[in-house]
Structure 1
């Protein structure tokens, strides 16, 4: 899980300068979900909200049809998204628990979002709706990730091949037998 440096969310310029995936994963998830629902590329999607217990952070909004979910990660299985979110927050905050609720408000309405301690579209440095529209259309046309032997792979458009991704801090990536990092230990 990516952790923002202190103060970035309070600084409009620094927040706007974040890469799309981090921008929509740290505070603008409601804008991404609301934009997706305005012109859904697939039928049957609705918004769901992860609401952490009192005193904890970790609020998140995504869209789902009950099986497939879409958020700043792109498309994935709903259960996988929920497991990832819970595992990430629980590893940083002992006793972290949440509930899942269907979104029953307009995700692009400033008043409704502010009532739930989220920013509305007109409270960012620039309009995030075109940015969200571009991000979601990019994600819907991207080739799906494939997993082989536990190693995450991504499509490289320039060569037309899949290549492995290793995250600097991801124990799963660096503990694969035969990997360069495992040989250096």
Structure 2
């Protein structure tokens, strides 16, 4: 599991200039999820949020249809995404725990995101929307999820 450079989130340009996978994996996962939900490959996807227990860091947002998930790794089984996440954080932070909650707010709305201590799309060094669109388009959608239209 990759861990970001300490303090990089405080430097807008340095944060922006990271590779896509790191940018969307450590600080802009909510933007990637929000863009994905604007035009998912099939219906049935929704956002989920890993909310760490009090006193811990490690929040993460991703999209899923309950079985398949999508985040900065691309497509994976939801269970594998969660197992990898738990394993990584528990190996680094003794006693780490979290709950997974369904997202019930717009993922690209700045005020809603700021209320949850996340940046809105207009608060990054550059525009993360087209960057997320390109990232999503570059990931191969599993054949059983392809659009039929």
- Determine the structure 1 residue equivalent to 2:52: 52
- C-alpha separation in 1, matches of 2:74 and 2:131: 15
Once superposed, which parts of structure 1, at least 4 consecutive aligned residues long, lie more than 2 Å away? 140-143
- C-alpha separation in 2, matches of 1:6 and 1:27: 12
Larger radius of gyration: 1
- C-alpha separation in 2, matches of 1:112 and 1:139: 28
Which segments of 5 or more consecutive residues in structure 1 lack a partner in the other structure?
144-185
Q: CA deviation at 1:4?
A: 1.4
Q: CA deviation at 1:142?
A: 9.1
Higher relative contact order (CA 8 A, sep 6+): 2
- C-alpha separation in 2, matches of 1:135 and 1:79: 22
Aligned length: 143
Q: Using structure 1 for the length normalisation, give the TM-score.
A: 0.75
- Measured on the aligned residues, the alpha-carbon RMSD in Å equals 1.3
Q: Using structure 2 for the length normalisation, give the TM-score.
A: 0.93
Which segments of 5 or more consecutive residues in structure 2 lack a partner in the other structure?
144-149
- 1:114 correspondence with 2:114: yes
- 1:89 correspondence with 2:89: yes
Q: CA deviation at 1:140?
A: 3.0
